[in-house]
Structure 1
Amino acid sequence: MEPTLLNIHHGFNFRDLGGYPGAGLKTIKQHKLIRSGKLDLLSDRDVQFLDDYGVRYDVDFRSPEELQQAPDRKPSDASYYHLPVFPVDETKVTKYINREEEDKIFSEHADGGYKNMLKTYADMVLLPSAQKAYRGFFDLLLGNDGDNEALLFHCSAGKDRTGMGAVYLLSALGVNKKLIRSDYIATTQYIQQPLEDVLVQIKKRHMGTNYEQSIRDLWTVKLDYLESAMATIDEHYGSMQHYLHSALDLTDQQVADLRQIYLA
C-alpha cells in the first residue's frame, strides 16, 4: 500500500503511518504516528497544518550539533523531546562539505558512502546512545494515549534514524516484514529534490564521480542498509522481538499497550 504523504509545502518526507495493517487484523490509526524529515524549513502555514493535524509530540533523533544548526519549528501545542541516536551525525547527511578525512575517502572510493551507511545501520542497533534514544521513543509512544493526539518523529532527512525508529515501532505493532521494508524504501521517492540540491553543491566543488556517488549513497535508502541492521539484530539478539525485549526493554504488557493505543 502507498504511504499517506502529508500536505507540507516547505519540508519533505512527512508521512502518516495510519492505515498499515498490524496485529490482530487491526490497522494503525490515522493522525497518531507521523514520520518526517527536519522541521526547520517549515513555513507558518506548514506549522499550522501540523498543529491542526493534531501533532502534540515532536520527537527529534538528531545530534546536538544538528539541532543547534537547524532548530525545529514545532506546532504551538506540541511538546518537544530531543532523543539523539548518535552524539554526532553518523549518517553524514548534514556533513558532506569540508570534512577532510571523509572527503579523501569518498574521493578515492566510490563505495565510501555505501560502506559508511552499512556501519551506521549496525551502530543504530548496538550503540548505547541509540538504544537509549529508541527506548525513550517508546516511553513517549506509551504516553500518547489521548484521543486525536499525534506523535511526530524525525531526524534530518527522515530516512535513517527515523527509518529505524519506524522499523522498531511497526515491528512492535505487528506489521508484517514485507510492509515494513516497503515503508522504509518508500523514502526514496520523497527525498529526490533535497538530494538534487545537495548534488548541485557537490558538483560546484569538482570532487569527481567517486565523491558524488558516495554522497548519493549517503542520501539514499537501500535495502542493503536495512539488511545490515537486521543482520546485526539476528547475530546479537536472535530476532527482532528479542531485540525489542532485551535491548529496548519492552515488556509483553507494553507491547500490548502499544497495540491498544495505536491499532483499531
Structure 2
Amino acid sequence: MTPRILDIHHGFNFRDLGGYVTKAGQTLRTHKLIRSGRLNELSTRDQAYLADYGVKIDVDFRSPQERASAPDKLPAGAAYHFTPVFAVDETKASANAEQLRRQALAKDPLGGFRNMVNTYADMVLQPNAQKAYRAFFDLLLANSAPDSALLFHCSAGKDRTGMGAVYLLTALGVDPVTVRRDYLASNNYLIGESERMVNNVKKAGGSPALIASTRSLGGVANEYLDSALMTINSRFGSLDHYLTDVLGVDAAQRRDLRAIYLK
C-alpha cells in the first residue's frame, strides 16, 4: 500500500502507519501510529493539525544535543517523552559540511555509507539504544485510549525512527516485505531535505567524495537495514528473539499491542 502522508506544511516524512495488513489478515488502525522527521519546524497550523489528528504522545529518539538545538513544537495536549537512542547523533543526518570534514568523509566517497552501516549495527547492540526502544514499547502499550495517536520521530525520521518502525511492525505481525517497504519509503519523502544537505556542501566547496557521503547520510538503503538484521541474526538468532530477549516484548505484550493497534 502507499503510505498515508500527513498534510504537514513545515516538516517532512510524516506518515500514518494505518492501513498495513498483518500476516493474520488484520489491519493497522489509522490515527494511532505516526512516524516522522523533526518537529522543531512545525507552524502553528501544523501543530493544530496534529492535535486535531489525535496526537497525544510524542516520542523523541534524538540525541540530547539535537533536542537542545531544535526542541520539538508540541501539538496542544500532547505529552513529550525523550528517549534518546544515542547519547550523540551517530547518524550525522543533520551535520554541516565542517562536521563532515572533521570525520574525514571529504576524502572517502564511501565514508558516509560505511558510517550508516556501522550505525545500524550500533542501534542493535548499544545498551542505550536497547533501553530507548524498550521505553518506546512501554509508551506504545500505554497508548490504549481509542482517540490517542502516538507519534515517534528522530531528525529525518529514517534511521532511529526507521528501526523503531521495524520493531513495532514486526511485533504487530506485519510481514518482512511490507516492513522493508515502509523503511525504504523514507527515500520518497526526503528528496528535498537530502538535496538541501547536498547543496549546503556544494556551496561550502565540498569535494565530490564529501558530496557522495552526504547523499549516503541523507537517505536509507537496503544495506543499512540489512546491517541491523544481520547483526540481530548473528548475535541473537532472529528478530523475534531480539524483540523477546533483548527488548522484553513477550507474547502477552504482543497480544496487548495487537489489541490496541489492529482491527
TM-score, normalization by structure 1:
0.98
1:240 aligns with 239
1:30 aligns with 30
> Structure 1: how far apart are the matches of 2:231 and 2:103?
28
> Does the aligned pair in 2 maintain the 1:5–1:14 contact within 8 Å?
yes
> Structure 2: how far apart are the matches of 1:60 and 1:5?
19
> Does the aligned pair in 1 maintain the 2:107–2:207 contact within 8 Å?
no
2:85 aligns with 85
- Residue 23 of structure 1: how far off its partner (Å): 4.6
2:54 is the alignment partner of 1:54: yes
2:115 is the alignment partner of 1:116: yes
> Structure 1: how far apart are the matches of 2:213 and 2:97?
12
> Does the aligned pair in 2 maintain the 1:96–1:215 contact within 8 Å?
no
Q: Which amino acid aligns with 2:170?
A: S
> Structure 2: how far apart are the matches of 1:177 and 1:214?
28
2:137 is the alignment partner of 1:141: no
Alignment of 1:53-202 (within 5 A): 53-99=53-99, 102-103=101-102, 105-202=104-201
> Does the aligned pair in 2 maintain the 1:111–1:213 contact within 8 Å?
yes
TM-score, normalization by structure 2:
0.98
Number of positions where the alignment pairs a residue of Structure 1 with one of Structure 2: 263
> Residue deviations 1:194-249, cap 9 Å, x none?
11111111101112100000011001100100000000000011101100001101
- Residue 148 of structure 1: how far off its partner (Å): 1.4
Q: Which amino acid aligns with 1:160?
A: D
> Structure 2: how far apart are the matches of 1:211 and 1:236?
33
> Structure 2: how far apart are the matches of 1:166 and 1:126?
17
> Structure 2: how far apart are the matches of 1:67 and 1:189?
25
**Secondary structure, aligned partner of 2:150:** strand
1:207 aligns with 206
- Residue 117 of structure 1: how far off its partner (Å): 0.1
> Structure 2: how far apart are the matches of 1:183 and 1:251?
24
> Structure 2: how far apart are the matches of 1:152 and 1:33?
6
Question: Moved runs in structure 1, 4+ residues, more than 3 A?
Answer: none
**Secondary structure, aligned partner of 1:24:** coil
1:5 aligns with 5
> Structure 2: how far apart are the matches of 1:104 and 1:28?
41
2:19 is the alignment partner of 1:19: yes
> Structure 1: how far apart are the matches of 2:201 and 2:50?
33
> Does the aligned pair in 1 maintain the 2:14–2:37 contact within 8 Å?
yes
Q: Could you list the runs of 5+ residues in structure 1 that have no partner in the other structure?
A: none
Comparing 183-192 with 102-111, which one deviates more in the overlay? 102-111
> Residue deviations 1:174-197, cap 9 Å, x none?
000000000000000100111111
| Percent identity of paired positions between Structure 1 and Structure 2 | 52
- Residue 22 of structure 1: how far off its partner (Å): 1.6
**Secondary structure, aligned partner of 2:224:** helix
> Structure 1: how far apart are the matches of 2:245 and 2:96?
35
Q: Which amino acid aligns with 1:108?
A: K
- Residue 24 of structure 1: how far off its partner (Å): 2.6
> Structure 2: how far apart are the matches of 1:99 and 1:9?
29
Q: Which amino acid aligns with 2:178?
A: L
Q: Structure 1 residues 28 and 260 mapped into 2: Cα distance closer, same or farther (>3 Å)?
A: same
Q: Structure 1 residues 190 and 36 mapped into 2: Cα distance closer, same or farther (>3 Å)?
A: same
